[in-house]
A = this chain, B = another copy of it.
Amino acid sequence: MAGSSFGTIFKITTWGESHGKGLGVVIDGCPAGIALSEADIQKFLDRRKPGQTKIATQRKEADEVEILSGVFEGRTTGTPISMLVKNTSQISKDYSEIASCYRPGHADYTFDMKYGFRDYRGGGRSSGRETIGRVAAGAVASLALKQLGIEVVSYTKSIHDIEINPENFDPTAILETPTCMPDRDASKKAEKYLAECIENMDSAGGVIECIVKHMPAGVGDPVFEKLDANLAKALMSIGAVKAVEIGDGVQVACTNGSLNNDAFRMAAGKVTKKTNHAGGILGGISDGDDIILRAYIKPTPSIFSAQETVNTSLEDMELKIKGRHDPIIVPRAVVVVESMTAITLFDALLLNMTARMDNIKKFYYDYSDK
């Protein structure tokens, strides 16, 4: 089946394997006239690069993006934007181990069941490198959102049981701490914990939070294409995410209506909510408040301690994974969560332009001849 596309109007199609010739994305349906350069994309891609800190792998991946189409004289043309990142450091390795067995927590076994065989080099299509295309597209969506005054901020909320303290919240820390935590103290603790994980040949999980500011009210849809439903899919489609929540999320199961309902109040001539348990979405449609999302990320499945598993000849075996692997997925996934959120929201904003006939009439009478 065709499962590598996401979005309806602003539609992205990613391709590429971890250790193949390269990875990339085609963005179809991007509006014309957005100023766009390779540097804009690179800035986003650099946030998911490995080899940068002690808690990430020491691999050197240049991951330089090249725009192949859809941009002319520095602006998007409205035609497909094809972007390519060539694989450079992924060459010549010994894959015999991963080729002949099923790594626990990985998709090796399920790929073989589905396709009959798999490109086992570096995890192939199920590698974390698959997100390169998402992030390149997310950079474009974020630029477009910014032009509409909408801001998406994403960061590490917790690593294992170490959580950020809202009182220490410092947005500049997100890009400066190796954990992408907006709390330098919490980050220190988490770094220490991760160092222990490495020593124990183990790995850790965590939570990524994403906040969307200045989203206009009235965007989304009431039934299957609820804004939160699409955001849930967007985030759950990221490898290693095992739970997604909106607003108070799992907490709503243990509360009461009198506590969970957000009272509406007028403030400065505008409808506002006194609280935001809903996380900015009511009935699948944005309510104008901050949208609040959380993704729960499992520990890196590639650990260095011995594991029981099965080989492709269907015999029990013991596996000791070699190579370089991050002890945690969370920090590098922060920009992926941000990208998927931006893509989902920009698409929803485009779709929403057709909600009312009077606006459609205004649009065609005001703009169509210009």
Contact = CB atoms under 8 A, between A and B. Distances in A.
Interface string A274-315: 100011011111111000000011111111010111100011
A260 to B, nearest CB: 5
Contact of A368 (B200, B218, B261, B298): B218
A232 B246 CA distance: 12
Contacts of A16: 68-69, 80, 82
Contacts of A175: none
Contacts of A116: 32-33, 356, 358
B300 A257 contact: yes
Given A229-B233, A283-B106, A13 B5 contact: yes
A94 interface: no
Interface in A1-17: 1-11, 13-17
A21 B24 CA distance: 15
A242 interface: yes
Given A242-B249, A250-B243, A282-B106, A223 B14 contact: yes
A interface, over-half SS: mixed
A218 B114 contact: yes
Contact of A219 (B114, B158, B253): B114
Interface stretch (A49-57, A180-188, A262-270, A331-339): A262-270
A1 B9 contact: yes
Nearest to A101: B264
A64 to B, nearest CB: 14
Contacts of A158: 253
B285 A316 contact: no
Contacts of A10: 2
B356 A353 contact: no
10 contacts: A1-B29, A4-B224, A15-B68, A32-B355, A72-B119, A104-B261, A204-B256, A233-B236, A252-B298, A359-B363
